[in-house]
Amino acid sequence: MATGAFWEGIDVRGQALSCVIIDKLPFTAPDDPLLKARIEDCRLRGGDAFSQVQIPDAVITLKQGVGRLIRDRSDHGALVICDNRLVSRQYGDTFLRSLPPIPRTRDLAKVSQFLADINEEHKNDAEAS
């Protein structure tokens, strides 16, 4: 469990973190004063605030959250994004394209097996040490 600080401020390396679950895309709250000002500025310039301000900001924040999972080459884990807007909204593809080229699935059994496999791998590594 985490709050907004998770997106930028936590550094957990190795097997201590093997799964990051993101419940929803990290759009800034619409009542945020800075966001309101940026939206107004965009509109005054004739732009589309959602596609030019809100989506890019949320993409950057999502990438920061995803970065909590893989901190170095030896890290392994599963990223679970529960927000169905990734597949139900046209802008979902923008978010998916921003992520590293990793295998994707909507099959919970595959995710469970992957996590079991990396847990077993960590266990074997610990026994060999």
3-state secondary structure 2-38: CCCCHHHHCCCCHHHCCEEEECCCCCCCCCCHHHHHH
pLDDT at 4: 59
Count CB-CB contacts under 10 A for residue 81: 22
In a domain, 107, yes or no: yes
pLDDT at 1: 46
Q: Per DSSP, which regions of the chain are E strands? A: 19-22, 78-81
In a domain, 12, yes or no: yes
In a domain, 40, yes or no: yes
**Domain coverage including residue 65:** 6-128
Q: How far apart are CA 123 and CA 126, in angstroms?
A: 5
- Give the amino acid at 16: A
Specify the number of domains making up the chain: 1
> What CATH number does residue 110 fall under?
3.40.50.300
In a domain, 1, yes or no: no
In a domain, 24, yes or no: yes
Residues ≥6 apart with Cβ < 8 Å to 78: 18, 19, 20, 111, 114, 115
Count CB-CB contacts under 10 A for residue 95: 20
Residue-wise pLDDT for 3-60, tens only, equals 555 566 667 777 778 888 899 999 999 899 999 999 999 999 999 999 999 999 999 9
Q: Flag whether the pTM goes above 0.75.
A: yes
In a domain, 33, yes or no: yes
